[in-house]
Amino acid sequence: PREYLEYYIFPVLLPGLAELLHQAKKEKCFERKRTKFIACDFLTEWLYNHNPKRKDESFTEFFSIPFVNDWLKDHPRQPMPLSLHLSEEEASIIIQSFWRGYRVRCDTEVQELRQWQKQLREEENISQRVEEFWTKQEAKGKWIKLL
């Protein structure tokens, strides 16, 4: 058993684990609690592409590996949260824009304007007018299609 591991398993697995650690460092896995990096997926892809039996074949992405496809058909994954898809810059822009909007909506003049707009919408039956407008537009569209 020990000779088998040292001769067949470790020469392939240890470089894969070393590459896994390098990639984890690039993805900042050691700095954050949650990341989009999935170590098992990376190692599976790396071992599949560095398999000595596949030397002449081109690189295959994780989700294109046949046995991974078969497994995911029977065991689908939950979608990844948006927070893990965003870069730090994108996330900071979303947070900052939300905060700026909140601060503006707290302004008394803006609150007065919003109250006035709300009253205007209620008094003028804006929602009913919009609904009637689109009903007419749809009716026009049906006539155009018939011609």
The answer, as to whether pTM is greater than 0.85, is: no
Q: Give 75-112 pLDDT, tens digit per residue.
A: 999 998 888 888 889 999 999 999 999 999 999 999 99
What are the CA-CA distances from residue 85 to residues 49, 59, 65, 80 (Å)?
Answer: 25, 24, 23, 7
Q: What is the per-residue pLDDT for 140?
A: 80
Using an 8 Å Cβ cutoff, are 16 and 48 in contact?
Answer: no
Residue 13, CA atoms < 13 Å, CB-side half-sphere: 8
Alpha-carbon distance 8 to 102, whole Å?
A: 61
Q: What is the per-residue pLDDT for 144?
A: 58
Does any domain span residue 1?
Answer: yes
Residue 43 lies in a domain: yes
Residue 135 lies in a domain: no
> For 80, which DSSP code?
P
- The mean pLDDT of 123-133, rounded to a whole number, is 83
Q: If pLDDT is split at 50, 70 and 90, which confidence band does 127 have? A: confident
Does residue 54 form part of some domain? yes
Domain membership of residue 105 (yes or no) is no
SS3 readout for 77-122: CCCCCHHHHCCHHHHHHHHHHHHHHHHHHHCHHHHHHHHHHHHHHH
117 inside domain:
no
Q: Is 60 left (phi over 0), alpha (psi -120 to 50) or beta?
A: beta
Q: Tokens for 81?
A: 């949260």
The number of distinct structural domains making up the chain is 1
Share of the chain above pLDDT 90, in %: 56
Where residue 142 falls among pLDDT bands split at 50, 70, 90?
low
pLDDT given at position 73:
94
Question: Residues 6-25: what's their mean pLDDT?
Answer: 93
Structure tokens at 127: 């929602």
Q: Is the pLDDT of residue 19 over 80?
A: yes
Please give the residue range of the domain that contains residue 16. 1-80
- How large is the average pLDDT for residues 124-136? 85
